[in-house]
Amino acid sequence: MIIFFCRSYGKPVWFDSGAGYPIAGEVIDVTRSRISIKSLLNVKTFVFGIDETARVVSRIPLPPEGVNDMITMSDLSEASILWNIKVRYDNRQFYTYIGSILVAVNPYHMYHEMYSTNYVQKYENALVLNALPAHIFATASLAHSKMFTDKINQCVVISGESGGGKTQSTKLIMNYLASVNPGKNKLITEQILEASPLLESFGNAKTVRNDNSSRFGKYIEIYYSQKSIVGAKLSDFLLEKSRIVTHSIDERNYHVFYELLEGFDTEEKRKYGLTIPEKYFYLNQGASMAIASKSDAHDFQSLLTAMKILNFTKNEQETIFKILAAILHLGNIYFSRTIDDANHDLIQISSKTEIEWCSHLLGLNDQGLLQKLTHKVTEARDERLLSPFNLEQALDSRDAIAKALYSTLFSWLVARINQIVRVNNSVDNSIAILDIFGFENFSTNSFEQLCINYANEALQFHFNRHVFKLEQEEYAKEKLAWKKIDFSDNTDCLDLIGKKPNGILQILDDESNFPKATDQSFLHKCHRLHESNRLYGKPRLLKTTFSIRHYAGDVEYDVRGFLDKNRDLLRSDVIDLFSSSRNEILANMFRDIRDVYESHRGFHFKTGRFITMKAKTPTVSAKFSDSLSHLIDTMTRCQPTFIRCIKPNNDKTPNKLELSVVLEQLRNTGMLETVRIRKLGFPRRYLFEQFAKR
């Protein structure tokens, strides 16, 4: 834009108020020494001296309803793009296009009329993307039609910060696809849809940023044959295990625990030894038992309906509830410290009732569970030696067992769903939807946030590659007249975190394989290898932290607990205990884990001996990196459609858009450059064969 000296009343302008974002205004007075401008944001008057005219620039007014597709705007400035999104948001137009890319701003309220059957039919019949106001149904329709016309597998990549509305967007796309192509077997379509609320109960939780935050990632592939849905496959990534035993103030554990306690009647609670959420240590740490916008009792009924449609047997449902109840009882087990004659610390369990409930619900012997909570087993040739835990070790053992129970149940649920909705015959094509945890930056960030943000860096790279790199390479290859557009390349950040041999996660894996390594030794190694890296931050004071400059901003990570979380080892004697449960479903869950451990470690559970020298069990970061690499490879083979979810404010308030919050996200994700490359480029393209067919 051109800096100007304004001498006309009513002139539309952008001005810098010092708030960190541009504001739309109109000139209301001009003198020799100053310019007075009325803000269109809050009707305040701002006065600028003649020497401050650089803070005032001319503005091309937007239509009252905003612009549906931002590549059609004549003004591609940061201010115009930001205010176009605001104008549309204020008009309840929460979707805006950048060519075929959809920008979706979370209203923090469900407008059901916008997603009715009438809307499905309207967007299903639209022949051109811009024929109707921007909408997520139009984006779903585009991917759906391209799958059939181009005969290429499609992938809808939904990304954005936590609280941007990614999970809701995923559900809306799936509902649309189910409505327009239900298939001959309507039950399989219904089962695919019901998988989402079921996993939402078990995999989502309230955080300070989001009342329904996904604490795992999921990639859903919906398969088609003869233009009908015939099945699906669901892949999950990195369930946040630590949430099962601890969460911060104003946060909750996973939804399903509260749904269970609110949904059970008095008799059912008595059957499982349960009471109200406030009574459970694993649920009351955040002092936030309820969510204003959510009915846990209603959602429990929805969960039961989903289980019924997905053909979960009565026995399977009861086993699920027993495991959940047992976890709550586990969290309420407390220990007391005593001193023996040799002045050694000893601990004993002071909550016998909770032990009895856990053992009863899990089909275990009381003494067997008690031993696992209070003693460590050491392998020595032909015998197992028991050594007592101190208080801290006993609490860690309790929490490790709770995390193992829940994460094993979650993995079993995913496998069970896949078994039910799997494809039995050949397929023609597929549409995949990626709903993965958003970028996170809390007051304290740990191992989970590093993995989550690494995944978001990988998705940002995937987006950049398609929108900027491959696009401009194609223009050069076709010898088109083109002025290169620079974009923020995050390759260096990906290398810092994950590249072998010295990426941060590689260092963590190396340290995790040394029994004497500590979180501090891991941190010192990171400092030594990366303190000169412009993206890496070493604290000035002696702190247990390092920081990384991500595409979405700087994040400080606290390394305390990194090694334990990465190793995530479950003791063989604990696996053995649950494998011998009288509950056959639970026993089989842990027998599967035992088989995996044996295959990696050559450990024979019956004799307790290592029988071979096989490779070590993969760490959490190694498994996650492999899964992430496989995910990106899979998406690369698909034709992508991108949805960028935007969080409008930080306090989850409905219909409130804060310009500073939105602008930061637009800058960090390259949206401003995206508008320019789509505007100047060639958003519509066909292969010769496709063009000839048309």
| Residues annotated within a binding site | 160-167
Per-position DSSP letters for 503-571, written without gaps between them: SHHHHHHHHHT-TT--HHHHHHHHHHHHTT-TTEE--SSS-SEEEEEETTEEEEEE-TTHHHHHH-PPP
Residue carrying the six token digits 């549409």? 431
Of 68, 141, 167, 572, which one is the catalytic site residue?
Answer: 167
Known catalytic residue at 599:
no
Known catalytic residue at 474:
no
Point out which residues pair with 431 in neighbouring strands. 154, 222
- Binding-site residues for ATP, please? 160-167
Known catalytic residue at 231:
no
218 neighbors 235 (Cβ within 8 angstroms): yes
Strands 154-160 and 639-646: parallel
Rounded Cα distance, 487 and 360, in Å: 59
Beta strands in 416-468 (DSSP E): 429-435
Of 200, 221, 251, 440, which one is the catalytic site residue?
Answer: 440
- Give the SS3 label for residue 225: strand
Known catalytic residue at 438:
yes
484 neighbors 513 (Cβ within 8 angstroms): no
Of 68, 210, 253, 445, which one is the catalytic site residue?
Answer: 210
Of 163, 203, 498, 681, which one is the catalytic site residue?
Answer: 163
Of 438, 498, 503, 681, which one is the catalytic site residue?
Answer: 438
Per 3-state DSSP, what percentage of the chain is helix, strand, and coil (rounded to 5)? 50, 20, 35
- Give the SS3 label for residue 201: helix
**Residues 6 or more apart in contact with residue 481 via CB below 8 angstroms:** none
Residue 113 is encoded by which pair of tokens? 């009329």
Burial 551-578 (b: 16+ CB within 10 A, else e): bbeebbbbbbebbebbbbebebbbbbbb
Known catalytic residue at 167:
yes
The total number of residues written for the chain in this structure? 694
Residue 588 is encoded by which pair of tokens? 């089989």
Residue 124 CA: distances (Å) to CA of 74, 145, 173, 510: 30, 9, 12, 52
Of 162, 189, 397, 453, which one is the catalytic site residue?
Answer: 162
Of 106, 159, 169, 214, which one is the catalytic site residue?
Answer: 214
How deeply is 86 buried, as exposed, middle or buried, from its count of CB atoms within 10 A (0-12, 13-18, 19+)? buried
Q: What is the DSSP letter of 431?
A: E
Rounded Cα distance, 350 and 333, in Å: 7
Ramachandran category for residue 15: left, alpha or beta (phi over 0 → left; psi -120 to 50 → alpha): beta
Known catalytic residue at 440:
yes
Active site positions, annotated: 162-163, 167, 210, 213-214, 438, 440
